[in-house]
Amino acid sequence: MRTAITLRFAEAAQRLGQSARCHGLRVPTFRSPPGIDHVRRSIRWGCDTSTVSVVLWDRPWSAVLADMIEGIVVANRLDSGRADAIRASLWAAVEDEAIAA
């Protein structure tokens, strides 16, 4: 079961990355779990990169997707107007994943 979730996570990261690149956004690296105890999502900033870490286990898949999408928004420091449009586009990229959950 863990392997299936890990593969699903990788597929979602790929789809979200493709959608983000189509909008001219930087794509963070995705990993799991966060290195900080008791958080469900964290972001680590590098020189020109960022890493979004999310908890995969024992939570709804839609919550994992929401954390990944929000990670892209935060990593790109989008203003509220653009962020809403980008969120909608990113959700569309993984819509069938969210429905399957």
Contacts of 71 (CB under 8 A, 6+ apart): 28, 30, 41, 43, 50, 52, 54
For residue 2, name the pLDDT band (cuts at 50, 70, 90).
confident
Q: What is the pLDDT of residue 98?
A: 61
**Whether residue 99 has pLDDT greater than 70:** no
Check residue 11 and report its DSSP letter: H
For residues 83 and 73, the answer to whether their CB atoms sit within 8 Å is: yes
Q: What is the pLDDT of residue 87?
A: 97
User: Is the pTM value of this prediction over 0.85?
Assistant: yes
| Separation of first and last alpha carbons in the chain | 14
Q: What is the pLDDT of residue 97?
A: 66
The 10s digit of each residue's pLDDT in 12-64 is 999 999 999 999 999 999 999 998 888 999 999 988 899 999 999 999 999 99
Range of the domain at 81: 2-100
Report the distance separating Cα 88 and Cα 92, nearest Å: 6
Q: How many domains does the chain have?
A: 1
For residues 93 and 15, the answer to whether their CB atoms sit within 8 Å is: yes
